[in-house]
């Protein structure tokens, strides 16, 4: 179903919308023009350290950066005013880092965020940790007090390199105006090399102010950090033989499939050999969820059929996953009879959590092509009986929910209503909580990079700033829908001001249960229903609050409201907030209790 056309849903090229971002107003560059601009940035004499920082961003092809001003980063901002890099000022640095993260996810290139020293830098920490857990390529630039004051507990000083060392792929303290441009370029390139991740450059004010005419050059990652894309032939052959002899093979596609742009290869592979597919939550979108082979995602709140399949497979072909405990449950019971083929670009992921019987180190797309070639056509496993078994499980454990027109609206219904009213290529961002799980369960994802969520860190408040980043990154004709919980939304709601200022066409759907619902669900299951600090019946009227920010507010109280609100909110060209008052008692099922066996998922509370 396509997006309803409305008179005011004009594209920005028509220039009738003054609030629209500057980026959209700039004439489109051709590829040659963009390459020439990058080369100019790489070769010109920058003049100052700050100019070198900005030239390095331009040389890397950065179009947009998200951030907040401040004392120590001011020289870089000043240099940015002359730059082709479009800067989006966010309301909070946490907003900047999540926006950059989501921007990077949607674009497939590192997002860039900036903050000043001290509190600016520490406000980035949550989002950097988030990007690190999800292997998202990102570059963070932080201001720092002047070099000669470092270590003196100067005003707004924090040991940013020390604080962020464990949550970055690598970080740099810039100590020389002549080197700083190259360092920024290297940090950018490194973020996107091999297994992606966040990098950070800390920029003391004197280094930014310092003079330099050293051109920044092309951004290049250190040679040692560039892994081989092709896997060892012997590893591939061994894995291929294991797959051929399997009776119940199962593909497990993780976030690495999407980061590695390998969706085409994994789809072809599973289809060619008729191997059923489950994904991890970060792997959502790597395989179309409406494909007969797809059992959706496995893990704590994954489907019953995915968890049955993973429990009973005899050969798990895992690609680009780190076997997070939300996926595996207790490792002792995880895929207990499976030989594990593990394909990953990062050798340190092999056998980190689950022993790999067949390690295959390399780039997902390249390795899948290699595997495909190594499996003889006559030797492909016979999966018919196994596929039938998986289909039976699909029948046995349906993902459905009961609705009663006189009762409060079920959240799943709202999610499905938005899914039905949008195209397959719409982007969904989420906060963290029950709403995130419903958005993952009841939306049918078909394309990579369309599900933008905080997986490994589980950061409440991720959804709205991520929607801002996704919106700026996405083509204008694709919808951006953000599902938030009432508690999670309130954590970064200030970014609504940015969405209004930039007139970003985002639809925020607050699945409002007046609880921090996921906590309430666990309290009901494991703490005798003691709702300590989880009742949020003091929530504002989100639709009214949206209007105060200058956004459009809608409200859903009953089933009758749903269809019209979905239509109007999607048609509105700008930020809108749908305050959907849902059944406050609704819980997320299936559920695998922490550390339990995947096959022991509960379908209702009394099974926990």
Partner 1 sequence: MSGEDDDATNAAADGGTDHPADSPIAEHARPAGGDAPETGLAGPTPEERPHPSGRRDEHGVRKEPDDGGEATRRATVSALVEDEPGVLARAAGLFRRRQFNIESLTVGPTTVEGHSRITLVVEETEAGIDQAKKQLAKLTPVIAVGELSDDAVAAELVLLKVRGHEPDKVHAITSMYDGETLDAGPRTITVQITGDENLIDDAIDAFDQFGIIEIARTGQTALERGDSPTTPGEEPGHSAGSTDDDEFTNYDD
Catalytic residues, which ones?
Answer: 93, 155-156, 205, 518
Euclidean distance between CA atoms 187 and 496, whole angstroms: 30
Q: What is the dihedral of CA 36, 40, 42, 47, to 10 degrees?
A: -160
When asked if residue 516 is in the footprint of ligand TPP (CB under 6 A), the reply is: yes
Residue nearest to ligand TPP (CB): 485
| 585 contact partners, CB below 8 Å, separation of at least 6 | none
Distances (CA, A) of 410 to 276, 485, 580, 586: 31, 14, 10, 7
When asked if residue 602 is in the footprint of partner 1 (CB under 8 A), the reply is: yes
Shortest Cβ 589–partner 1 spacing (Å): 5
Euclidean distance between CA atoms 532 and 138, whole angstroms: 37
Total number of residues that touch partner 1 (CB under 8 A): 72
Residue of 434, 507, 576, 598 that binds ligand TPP (CB under 6 A): 434
Q: Which of 221, 139, 240, 178 is nearest to 51 (CA)?
A: 178
When asked if residue 276 is in the footprint of ligand TPP (CB under 6 A), the reply is: no
Instruction: Please give the residues from 517 up to 576 whose contact with ligand TPP meets the rule CB under 6 A.
Output: 517-519
* Shorter beta-carbon distance to partner 1: residue 313 or 450: 313
For tokens 């589980």, the residue is 458
Q: Helices in 474-558 by DSSP H: which ranges?
A: 486-491, 496-501, 517-526, 542-549
When asked if residue 511 is in the footprint of ligand TPP (CB under 6 A), the reply is: yes
Instruction: Please give the residues from 463 up to 502 whose contact with ligand TPP meets the rule CB under 6 A.
Output: 485-488
Total number of residues that touch ligand TPP (CB under 6 A): 19
For tokens 């899914």, the residue is 419
Q: Which of 271, 109, 123, 113 is nearest to 193 (CA)?
A: 109
Q: Say which DSSP state 350 is in.
A: T
When asked if residue 309 is in the footprint of ligand TPP (CB under 6 A), the reply is: no
Euclidean distance between CA atoms 423 and 477, whole angstroms: 10
* Shorter beta-carbon distance to partner 1: residue 124 or 421: 421
**Residue 434: which of partner 1, ligand TPP, none does it interact with, CB under 5 to 8 A by kind?**
ligand TPP
Residue of 433, 456, 469, 590 that binds ligand TPP (CB under 6 A): 433
Query: How far is C-alpha 98 from the geometric centre of its chain's CA atoms?
Result: 9
Assigned token pair, 186: 């290297």
* Shorter beta-carbon distance to partner 1: residue 106 or 592: 592
User: Mask 317-356, x = binds partner 1 (CB under 8 A)?
Assistant: ------x----x--xxxx-xxx-------xxx-xxxxxx-
Shortest Cβ 404–partner 1 spacing (Å): 4
Instruction: Please give the residues from 400 up to 429 whose contact with partner 1 meets the rule CB under 8 A.
Output: 400-405, 407, 410, 412-413, 416-417, 420-421
- What burial letters (b/e) apply to 131-158, b meaning 16+ CB within 10 Å? bbbbbbbbbbbbbbbebeebeeeeebbb
- Enumerate the β-bridge partners of residue 277: 251, 294
Q: What are phi and psi of 78, to 5 degrees?
A: -60, -45
Shortest Cβ 111–ligand TPP spacing (Å): 20
Instruction: Please give the residues from 522 up to 581 whose contact with partner 1 meets the rule CB under 8 A.
Output: 558-560, 562-563
Residue of 10, 225, 380, 457 that binds partner 1 (CB under 8 A): 225
Residue of 235, 311, 429, 434 that binds partner 1 (CB under 8 A): 311
**Residue 404: which of partner 1, ligand TPP, none does it interact with, CB under 5 to 8 A by kind?**
partner 1
Shortest Cβ 128–partner 1 spacing (Å): 15
Instruction: Please give the residues from 30 up to 69 whose contact with partner 1 meets the rule CB under 8 A.
Output: none
**Residue 131: which of partner 1, ligand TPP, none does it interact with, CB under 5 to 8 A by kind?**
none
* Shorter beta-carbon distance to partner 1: residue 385 or 403: 403
When asked if residue 601 is in the footprint of partner 1 (CB under 8 A), the reply is: yes
**Residue 161: which of partner 1, ligand TPP, none does it interact with, CB under 5 to 8 A by kind?**
partner 1
Q: Say which DSSP state 93 is in.
A: H
Assigned token pair, 412: 């799943």
Pairing of strands 198-204, 138-144: parallel
Segment contacting partner 1 by CB under 8 A, of 20-28, 53-61, 160-168, 489-497: 160-168
| 255 contact partners, CB below 8 Å, separation of at least 6 | 134, 135, 280, 282, 283, 320, 321, 455
When asked if residue 429 is in the footprint of ligand TPP (CB under 6 A), the reply is: no
When asked if residue 581 is in the footprint of ligand TPP (CB under 6 A), the reply is: no
Q: Judge contact between 567 and 421, C-beta under 8 A.
A: yes
Q: Judge contact between 496 and 546, C-beta under 8 A.
A: yes
When asked if residue 124 is in the footprint of ligand TPP (CB under 6 A), the reply is: no
Segment contacting partner 1 by CB under 8 A, of 219-227, 250-258, 508-516, 549-557: 219-227
Residue of 304, 381, 485, 487 that binds partner 1 (CB under 8 A): 304
* Shorter beta-carbon distance to ligand TPP: residue 359 or 461: 461
Long-range (24+ apart) CB contacts under 8 A made by 160-167 are 160/117, 160/121, 160/122, 160/200, 160/202, 161/200, 161/202, 163/121, 163/122, 163/125, 164/121, 164/124, 164/125, 164/128, 164/140, 164/200, 167/125, 167/128, 167/129, 167/132, 167/198
When asked if residue 605 is in the footprint of partner 1 (CB under 8 A), the reply is: yes
Instruction: Please give the residues from 167 up to 186 whose contact with partner 1 meets the rule CB under 8 A.
Output: 169-170, 173
When asked if residue 139 is in the footprint of partner 1 (CB under 8 A), the reply is: no
Residues of this chain that bind ligand TPP (CB under 6 A):
431-435, 458-460, 485-488, 511, 513, 515-519
């Amino acid at each position: 179903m396509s997006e309803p056309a409305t008179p005011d849903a004009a594209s920005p090229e028509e220039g009738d919308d003054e609030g629209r971002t500057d980026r959209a107003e700039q004439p489109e560059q051709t590829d040659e023009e963009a390459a020439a601009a990058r080369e100019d940035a790489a070769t010109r004499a920058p003049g100052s350290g700050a100019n070198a920082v900005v030239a390095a961003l331009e040389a890397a092809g950065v179009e947009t950066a998200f951030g907040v001003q401040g004392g120590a980063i001011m020289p870089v901002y000043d240099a940015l005013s002359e730059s082709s890099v479009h800067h989006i000022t966010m309301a909070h640095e946490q907003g900047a880092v999540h926006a950059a993260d989501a921007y990077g996810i949607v674009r497939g290139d590192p997002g860039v965020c900036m903050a000043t020293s001290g509190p600016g830098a520490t406000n980035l920490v949550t989002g950097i940790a988030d990007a690190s857990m999800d292997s998202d390529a990102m570059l963070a630039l932080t201001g720092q007090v002047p070099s000669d004051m470092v270590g003196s507990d100067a005003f707004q000083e924090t040991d940013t390199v020390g604080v962020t060392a464990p949550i970055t792929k690598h970080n740099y303290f810039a100590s020389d105006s002549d080197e700083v441009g190259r360092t920024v370029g290297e940090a950018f390139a490194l973020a996107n090399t091999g297994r992606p991740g966040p990098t950070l450059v800390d920029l003391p004010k004197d280094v930014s102010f310092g003079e330099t005419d050293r051109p920044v050059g092309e951004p290049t990652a250190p040679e040692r950090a560039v892994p081989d894309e092709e896997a060892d032939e012997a590893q591939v052959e061994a894995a291929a033989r294991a797959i051929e002899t399997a009776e119940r093979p199962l593909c497990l596609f993780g976030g690495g499939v999407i980061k590695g742009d390998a969706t085409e290869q994994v789809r072809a592979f599973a289809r060619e050999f008729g191997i059923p597919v489950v994904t991890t939550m970060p792997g959502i979108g790597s395989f179309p969820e409406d494909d007969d082979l797809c059992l959706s995602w496995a893990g704590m709140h994954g489907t019953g059929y995915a968890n049955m399949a993973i429990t009973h497979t005899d050969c798990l072909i895992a690609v680009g996953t780190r076997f997070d405990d939300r996926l595996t449950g207790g490792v002792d019971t995880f895929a207990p009879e499976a030989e594990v083929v593990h394909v990953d670009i990062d050798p340190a992921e092999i056998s980190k959590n689950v022993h790999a019987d067949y390690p295959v180190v390399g780039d997902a797309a390249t390795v899948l092509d290699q595997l495909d070639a190594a499996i003889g056509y006559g030797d492909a496993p016979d999966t018919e009986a196994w596929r039938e078994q998986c289909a039976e499980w699909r029948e046995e454990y349906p993902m459905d929910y009961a609705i009663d027109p006189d009762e409060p609206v079920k959240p799943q219904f709202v999610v499905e209503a938005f899914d039905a009213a949008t195209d397959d290529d719409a982007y969904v961002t989420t906060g963290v909580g029950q709403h995130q799980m419903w958005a993952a369960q009841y939306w049918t994802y078909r394309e990579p990079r369309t599900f933008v969520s905080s997986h490994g860190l589980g950061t409440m408040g991720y959804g709205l700033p991520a929607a801002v980043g996704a919106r700026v990154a996405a083509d204008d004709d694709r919808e951006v829908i953000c599902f938030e919980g009432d508690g999670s939304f309130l954590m970064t709601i200030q970014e609504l001001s940015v969405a209004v200022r930039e007139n970003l066409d985002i639809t925020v759907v607050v699945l409002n249960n007046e609880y921090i619902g996921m906590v309430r669900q666990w309290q009901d299951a494991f703490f005798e229903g003691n709702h300590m600090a989880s009742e949020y019946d003091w929530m504002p009227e989100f639709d009214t609050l949206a209007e105060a920010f200058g956004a459009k507010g809608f409200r859903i109280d009953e089933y009758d409201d749903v269809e019209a609100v979905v239509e109007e909110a999607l048609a509105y060209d700008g930020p809108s907030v749908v305050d959907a008052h849902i059944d406050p008692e609704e819980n997320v099922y299936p559920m695998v209790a922490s550390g339990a066996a995947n096959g022991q998922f509960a379908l209702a509370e009394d099974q926990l």
